[in-house]
Amino acid sequence: MGASKFGIKKRSCERLGVVKCMASAAPSVLPKALLFDCDGVLVDTEKDGHRVSFNDTFAEKELGVTWDVDLYGELLKIGGGKERMTAYFNKVGWPDKAPTTEQDRKDFIASLHKRKTELFMALIEKKLLPLRPGVAKLVEQALGNGVKVAVCSTSNEKAVSAVVSFLLGAERAEQIQIYAGDVVPRKKPDPAIYLLAAETLGVEPSSGIGLAAAKAAGMTCIVTKSGYTGDEDFEKADAVFDFIGDPPEERFDLAFCGSLLEKQYVS
């Protein structure tokens, strides 16, 4: 959710724009794991996926609420869909059809989020939102070299699983661990989800909202910018690209990830 990034478990380029960044030779160090975010990294889901699904849910329930592109960009600073709706309604006022007690409002938000997830998953299953360039390539390189792959997201677990299964394929999905939704009590920028992934995968950390979480967990972090994050400050990232890319538009690969770690070890 939020900034597009993934953490390398186990430093730094300036912003490289369209420059191809490949290691000149196979590195002696490979990441022990690659931890991908989902939204904005695997798929550019926010503007035409999650936002549309939220609005369709609001329309179905006749709430009189619409989140335009700019407003949703601001709301993305809040990690988690349920948290995002709650913060919005607390600020602008709850819809007339919403309940008034705290617990009933939590249940109301949960029901909205459940329906929103169903609508979002329908978009994924129809493959109306494609993988971002280079994602399948990098996942395949990692799995083929024994590097563990996981997805860490504040989005609903069913939605993330749908993205992985339908867009990366069942065979790859079986090899990818997913940490999503309410699996941890505190969402990004808190590092809890990355620390849980590190512990579960049995690896040690090497050292925007998702960038802050990854760095707080002590990870090397590469950012791939998305539609909503193009103007964000990623100064703390170890490398920043517009996308991963497939040949001939490839920006970086697994070997480059390893080269970042080698630089870290000798710095």
Catalytic residue among 39, 44, 238, 253: 39
Q: What amino acid is encoded at 71 in this protein?
A: L
What's the rounded Cα separation, in Å, for the pair 97 and 109? 12
Q: Is 231 a catalytic residue?
A: no
37 labelled catalytic: yes
Provide the residue type at 233 as one letter. Answer: D
Q: Tokens for 104, please give them.
A: 């009933």
Half-sphere exposure of 95 (CA within 13 A, CB side): 16
Q: For residue 119, give Cα distances in angstroms to 87, 126, 131, 158.
A: 22, 11, 18, 12
Q: Which amino acid is at 222?
A: I
Between helix 102-125 and helix 157-168 the angle, nearest 10°, is 0
Q: Annotated catalytic residue: which of 37, 238, 242, 253?
A: 37
Cα distances from 184 to residues 122, 155, 156, 157, 199, in angstroms, run 26, 12, 12, 12, 13
Q: Residues with catalytic annotation? A: 37, 39
